[in-house]
Amino acid sequence: MRIVSGVLGCVSLLFIVVAMIGLIWPSFFRNKTGAVPKRAPLFFGGILAAILTVIVAALVHPGQDDAGKAADHDVEDVAVDAASSPGTAAAPRLTLDLTPQQFRSNYNRRVSTAGGKDTLAEIELVHDTVYDGFQQSVGRNLKLAGVVNKSDGTLRELVIHIGVDEPGMMLKSVATLVTIAAAVKPAATAEHDDTETVVKVIQLAMEGRKESKMIERSVGKLRYSAVANETDGLLFSISPR
């Protein structure tokens, strides 16, 4: 049952990714007729599916001693606690180990040092039952969305969308994306390796855009994922490994 619980935890994270993609890039889910679904059903449907999956994972996760009566009571108590407050008790803690404000400060400092102008404005969180979140435009062609843990206010995941534009603007947006990735891990001892990995993931995703091929790479505690197509551009995510 531990394996089932772990799989359900991963599925819950996948639903959150679906919700974020639906929020900033709904055309990714267009059907065969070309119709694009609305943002709200995609976002809230993904969040609801994540909540249900987390609750199921909490209920099927075994106690330390399933044969003992005391352990049975403990498992029942945990299930009751999870049902009464699913947003805090049931959600597995995945974190990028910095708050949205810390991320914003890191990013803006890097942009200012490089003489850039595309800084992040003050981040305003949107509150939901299980997670908080935010969405911002950075420059003309990049949108940034984040999922935030309610328990400690740290970032759980960042999703970046770069739309199709002229080559010069696309290149500028990719440079901004690389700066965002560096700001997530400002104290990395192998920061150069991270940058190379981010650029490689973007390159491979763009090369596979005709098939919308998903590319994933991991460095240390971080996982980088990207998918692209010729109509909507590039979608890139940064999440804990």
Domain boundaries, the chain: 2-89, 100-240
| 15-29, 83-97, 111-125: the lowest-pLDDT one | 83-97
| Contacts with 97 (C-beta within 8 Å, 6 or more apart), sequence order | 154, 221
What's the pLDDT tens digit per position in 163-208? Answer: 988 888 999 999 999 999 999 986 544 444 688 999 999 999 999 9
Amino acid type, 155: L
CA–CA dist 92, 106 (Å, integer): 26
The pLDDT of residue 52 is above 70: no
Q: What is the mean pLDDT of residues 58-73?
A: 44
pTM over 0.85: no
What is the helix (H) or strand (E) element at residue 237, kind and residue range? strand 233-240
Report CA dihedral (188, 194, 195, 201) to the nearest 10 degrees.
-160
pLDDT value, residue 41: 65
pLDDT band at residue 77 using 50, 70 and 90 as cut-offs: very low
